[in-house]
């Protein structure tokens, strides 16, 4: 699965330039704070197509399908498996019409026993921004009529580096494939959901990452596993 990731870039417009997108009018153009521990149910940046234009906006992480009875279902729909995403009822129409990019610069996976799981960060070797493949939808609250826009991140089989730590990884797209993911046919898009083949690096990070209450630069700094406390 993909349960946490980071986006240290604090300027929305720089993210928009990287992904050749226009900033959604609803999203502040002012500098954001760097985020080191983005967790499910929080808002994330995402790039979607509106007509022929890419739009960078904000979506809540945890997909709520348009036909859902209530929004609580989003808590169980933070990830979609690449192997079944085209068949599952919640995702198959979205795969045809509502694919998106979720910008980040690192993601985290855990290994070890439940009581002492150790997180590891994974990033491109050059430290550059990259996109995770996602699907989005809009849900209308039957009581208030307010609209909630949400996203799920697609996961796939791990590459050699990630497989040492975990049996899944986010479906990372090559920059050259991002346009195809957003606009090409479902068959062409499905072919892009494969283990990332680019150069990556990995390092152990603080177990404070296990709590979404913490979100500061120390979370992504390398640590010595032997020095990690047993419990918080």
Catalytic residue among 2, 100, 104, 178: 2
Pair 188, 180: CB distance under 8 Å? yes
Annotation says 175 is catalytic:
no
Catalytic residue among 9, 100, 104, 109: 109
Annotation says 109 is catalytic:
yes
Residues identified as active-site: 2, 109
């Amino acid at each position: 699965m993909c349960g946490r990731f980071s986006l240290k870039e604090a300027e929305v417009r720089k993210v928009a330039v990287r992904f050749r997108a226009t900033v959604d009018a609803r999203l502040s153009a002012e500098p954001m704070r760097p985020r080191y521990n983005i967790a499910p149910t929080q808002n994330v940046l995402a790039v979607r197509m509106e007509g022929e234009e890419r739009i960078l906006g904000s979506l809540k992480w945890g997909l709520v399908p348009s036909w859902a009875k209530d929004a609580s279902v989003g808590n169980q729909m933070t990830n979609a498996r690449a192997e079944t995403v085209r068949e599952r009822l919640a995702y198959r129409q979205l795969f045809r019409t509502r694919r998106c990019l979720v910008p980040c610069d690192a993601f985290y996976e855990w290994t070890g026993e439940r009581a002492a799981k150790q997180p590891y960060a994974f990033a491109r070797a050059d430290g550059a921004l990259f996109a995770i493949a996602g699907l989005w939808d809009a849900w209308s609250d039957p009581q208030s009529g307010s609209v909630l826009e949400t996203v799920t991140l697609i996961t796939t089989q791990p590459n050699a580096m990630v497989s040492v730590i975990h049996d899944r990884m986010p479906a990372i797209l090559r920059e050259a494939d991002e346009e195809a993911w957003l606009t090409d046919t479902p068959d062409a898009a499905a072919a892009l959901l494969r283990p990332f083949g680019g150069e990556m690096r990995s390092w152990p990070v603080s177990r404070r990452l296990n709590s979404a209450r913490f979100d500061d630069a120390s979370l992504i700094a390398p640590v010595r596993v032997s020095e990690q406390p047993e419990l918080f």
